Amino acid sequence: MQDHAVINNRRLSRTARIRKLFLGRWQYRVTWPGAAFATATIVVGVFAFLSANNLLFLVLSAMLAFGIVSGFLSRLVLAGLELELLLPEHVSARMPASASVRLRNLKYLTPSFSIELSGRPDPDTDLAPILATPVYFPLIPGRSTLEAPVEVTFPRRGCHRDNLFALSTSFPFGFIGKGTIVPLHRETIVYPSLSPSSEAEQLLADVTGEIESRFRGQGLDFHRVRPWESGDTARMVDWRNTAHTGALQVREFTREERRSVEIYLDRCADPDWFEDALETCAYLLWHLSDENTDVALRTDADSYSIPATGDVYGALQLLALMGSGGRSTVPDPELGDAVKVLFTSRPEVFDASKWQPALLFTGKLYTGRLG
């Protein structure tokens, strides 16, 4: 069986070498004008041989030379082009990002005409190309560089190393479209998608409410005036606002300690659930980082604190490269007074743990609270 596979590989390699000998790295596409021109050439050739008319042979020769010159010129304008993709520093999956492409003509004198740049899907993963809308360059003079803004969208999170693009042209007569594949080898870390979902927005609202209720109190900084609630002491009453509104109003102050949230992402789960939970976790991290809150991200193998360890982009990079299939053991929380958030598909494991009480996310349906 192993020898048979080797023989097949040799045959495929020999076929690939023959194909490369004739076609190289170029791709061809016959346009409608090209098909009409080829049909006319065949008709003229048939009549020339049937009638033995020298004039028709001259016309046939001119038409064949016309086609040969067209192929030579189209290959010439594609030669000597260099492509560069300029991406922003931070990119998230499935979210359009503004970028730019630079197309450089390395030829000294010969310009390049009618160049179209488009994206190509990855043949190994069959993922969609990052460049959905083609970019057209009508003229690139020799020894010059043109830059154009583009919008790129990465289909998934993680480390992207290879992106495929295609440069094509139908210059000079539009008979044949000739193109070549241009691979760009660069490492790009793509964060999880930060697009909101109804479950993620509901979870964020509950976490924000829990923070406000947990960390309000009798501190030094005035927070707000609110209606009286059961449990408020008499010295908290704001008599001026009470007289103005006709109902008991109390003054609320923030506590002196910083607000903190501790998030645990359970990696011991199937990949589909893990992707949904990871994106919701990234959305929560992104928005909590803007609210002057200390956030600790925990897994069975990693621990990252904002701002103690780094900023939110470091946490998003950690999530971008994270995989499922962690250990089944549950570590204890590190922050005792923090608001706790659990992402797990097995909440029964956490029933007897020290993570209670905690806000619980078990899947597409946000399930509320544990403990």
Question: 210 and 315 share a domain?
Answer: yes
Give the pLDDT score at 1.
33
Q: Say what the alpha-carbon torsion angle 47, 49, 50, 56 is, to the nearest 10 degrees.
A: 40
Residue 24 has pLDDT above 60, yes or no: no
Question: 226 and 170 share a domain?
Answer: no
Cα angle 207-213-217, degrees, rounded to a multiple of 5:
145
Question: 100 and 146 share a domain?
Answer: yes
Residue 282 has pLDDT above 60, yes or no: yes
Give the pLDDT score at 223.
66
Q: Which pTM was predicted? A: 0.75
Instruction: Round to whole Å and give the CA distance between 94 and 363.
Output: 20
- Phi/psi at 75 (nearest 5 deg)? -70, -35
Determine, yes or no, domain membership for 17: no
Determine, yes or no, domain membership for 34: yes
Query: Among residues of the chain, what percentage have pLDDT more than 90?
Result: 39
Give the pLDDT score at 222.
62
Question: 146 and 228 share a domain?
Answer: no
Q: Which residues pair with 254 in a beta bridge?
A: 216, 221
Strand ranges in 287-356 using DSSP code E only, listed in sequence order: 294-298, 303-306, 339-343
- The 3-state DSSP class for residue 214 equals helix
Across 193-222, average pLDDT: 78
Across 265-277, average pLDDT: 88
Tokens of 46: 């048939």
Residue that wins the pLDDT comparison between 45 and 18: 45
Task: Tell me if 356 sits within 8 A of 371, measured CB to CB.
Answer: yes
Determine, yes or no, domain membership for 328: yes
Strand ranges in the chain using DSSP code E only, listed in sequence order: 26-30, 81-86, 91-92, 97-105, 112-120, 135-140, 144-152, 158-169, 176-191, 216-217, 221-227, 249-254, 260-265, 294-298, 303-306, 339-343, 358-361, 366-370
Question: 209 and 223 share a domain?
Answer: no
Determine, yes or no, domain membership for 13: no
Domain containing residue 98: CATH number:
2.60.40.10
- The 3-state DSSP class for residue 123 equals coil
Residue that wins the pLDDT comparison between 216 and 262: 262
352 — pLDDT class (breaks 50, 70, 90): low
Type of residue at 190: V
Determine, yes or no, domain membership for 56: yes
Whole-Å CA distances, 296 to 264, 335, 347, 354: 8, 8, 20, 16
Instruction: Round to whole Å and give the CA distance between 13 and 51.
Output: 46
Instruction: Round to whole Å and give the CA distance between 23 and 8.
Output: 22
Instruction: Round to whole Å and give the CA distance between 325 and 100.
Output: 37
Instruction: Round to whole Å and give the CA distance between 288 and 200.
Output: 12
The mean predicted confidence, pLDDT, of the chain is 82
Question: 158 and 224 share a domain?
Answer: no
Question: 38 and 185 share a domain?
Answer: yes
Domain containing residue 322: CATH number:
3.40.50
Nearest to 327 by CA among 270, 264, 268: 268
- The 8-class DSSP code of residue 196 comes to -
Question: 207 and 346 share a domain?
Answer: yes
- The 8-class DSSP code of residue 182 comes to E
Question: 157 and 262 share a domain?
Answer: no
Tally the domains of the chain. 3
Task: Tell me if 17 sits within 8 A of 155, measured CB to CB.
Answer: no
Question: 145 and 85 share a domain?
Answer: yes
Determine, yes or no, domain membership for 318: yes
Domain interval for residue 282: 198-215+258-370
Residue at which a domain ends, from 256, 283, 305: 256
Lowest average pLDDT, out of 285-294, 309-318, 352-361, goes to: 352-361
Question: 245 and 178 share a domain?
Answer: no
Tokens of 118: 């488009």
Residue 5 has pLDDT above 70, yes or no: no
Instruction: Round to whole Å and give the CA distance between 118 and 153.
Output: 13
Task: Tell me if 255 sits within 8 A of 213, measured CB to CB.
Answer: no
Instruction: Round to whole Å and give the CA distance between 127 and 100.
Output: 21
Question: 81 and 173 share a domain?
Answer: yes
Determine, yes or no, domain membership for 124: yes
Determine, yes or no, domain membership for 59: yes
CB atoms within 10 A of CB 284: 22
User: Is the peptide bond between 227 and the residue preceding it cis, with omega within 30 degrees of 0?
Assistant: no
Task: Tell me if 193 sits within 8 A of 184, measured CB to CB.
Answer: no
Lowest average pLDDT, out of 95-99, 144-148, 180-184, 234-238, goes to: 234-238
- Phi/psi at 149 (nearest 5 deg)? -75, 140
Type of residue at 161: R
